[in-house]
Amino acid sequence: MSEELIKLLVAAVAGLVLGIERESKHKPLGLKTCVVISVTSCLLTIISIDTAMIHYDNPFIRSDPMRLSAQIVSGVGFLGAGVILRRNNDVISGLTTAAIVWTASGIGIATGAGYFKEVAAGVIILVLSVRFLPYIVAKLGPSSLREQEVNLTVYMDENEVNMDFILNEISKIVGDLRNIKINSREEYLKVELRCTLEESEEGIIKYYYKIKEIEGIKGMEVQGR
């Protein structure tokens, strides 16, 4: 088996590992994408190095063996930008997936250049970091890391309820209220707000039932992780 084929196979395995990690979380970038990026980056790096070595002994031709590889990183950046999404509640998602796209190209370049040990160590560290580091930091880190931002939408009858009373009762349950937006309709009063909740085993469900019991609330929506 040739050295180039071994490099391509190693790149495919590394891309496969990264792809499985994303696929297991049902992310838009999956297994096939990571493998394609990693293998193609490896192939282009091999070609870039080999073509530069052809003219190595010619003093009149200067070739950079990594010139083509340098363009891979910037080119893949556009692909990564395509998985970054901005949701209606101004929450940015897909940054980790975009970073994995860029990482897959880097893994392919490193494999094509022959850094097998570095690739193996890098893939292991990356997978462990993405999968387990958030849980470790959340357990051992400051309490702010165990909090999540939640958007609340509360519906109330404008003619029958005191808005100040309801907002005060909600703040007793969830803490400080931010970005309060009031929208008056003919049939109800709609109040949108944002707050920070401490994560728990029950998640946002327990807050939902507590707020729903407040007198005067006709309905509500809770949006969070």
Amino acid code (one letter) for 125: I
Shared domain check, 77 and 99: yes
Residue ending a domain, among 116, 140, 164, is 140
- Kindly report the pTM of this predicted structure: 0.62
Contact indicator for 150, 89 with CB cutoff of 8 Å: no
73 and 135 both lie in a single domain: yes
Same domain, 32 and 85: yes
Q: Residue 1: its pLDDT value, please?
A: 63
Structure tokens, 49: 């190095």
- Check residue 15 and give its pLDDT: 86
| Whole-angstrom distance, CA of residue 191 vs CA of residue 44 | 55
- The answer to whether 155 and 217 are in contact (CB under 8 A) is yes
Output the CA angle 153-159-157, nearest 5 degrees. 25
* Per-residue model confidence as pLDDT tens for the chain (225 residues): 678 888 888 999 888 888 887 777 777 667 788 888 889 888 888 888 877 776 666 655 566 667 777 778 777 777 777 666 655 555 566 777 778 888 888 888 888 888 888 888 888 888 888 887 767 766 776 665 566 677 788 887 766 567 778 888 878 777 777 777 877 766 778 888 887 776 655 567 777 777 777 777 777 777 765
Give the pLDDT confidence score for residue 155 in this predicted structure.
82
Check whether residue 83 and residue 117 sit in a common domain: yes
Q: Give bridge partners of residue 191 from the DSSP assignment.
A: 154, 182
Same domain, 46 and 115: yes
pLDDT at 141: 61
Residue corresponding to tokens 């944002």: 194
pLDDT of residue 28: 65
Determine the pLDDT at residue 59.
Answer: 55
In this structure, the number of other CB atoms found within 10 A of the CB of residue 42 comes to: 30
Residue 213 CB: number of other CB atoms within 10 A? Answer: 10
Read off the DSSP letter of residue 141. Answer: S
Within 10 A of 98 (CB to CB), how many other CB atoms are there? Answer: 20
Same domain, 95 and 164: no
Residue 29 DSSP label: S
Enclosing domain of residue 205: 144-223
Does 81 lie in the same domain as 117? yes
Give me the pLDDT at residue 90, please.
Answer: 55
Last residue of a domain, one of 140, 173, 201: 140
CATH number at residue 191: 3.30.70.60
Structure tokens at 216: 């005067």
Same domain, 168 and 131: no
Same domain, residue pair 11 and 78: yes
> 140, 172, 198 — which closes off a domain?
140
**pLDDT, position 40:** 86
Angle CA 146–124–4, to nearest 5: 145
Per-residue confidence (pLDDT) for residue 32, from 0 to 100: 81
Structurally, the chain folds into a number of domains equal to 2
Question: How many residues does the structure list for the chain?
Answer: 225
| Residue 198 one-letter amino acid | E
- The pLDDT value recorded for residue 55 is 60
pLDDT at 62: 61
Region for 203 from its dihedrals, namely left if φ exceeds 0, alpha if ψ lies in -120 to 50, beta otherwise: left
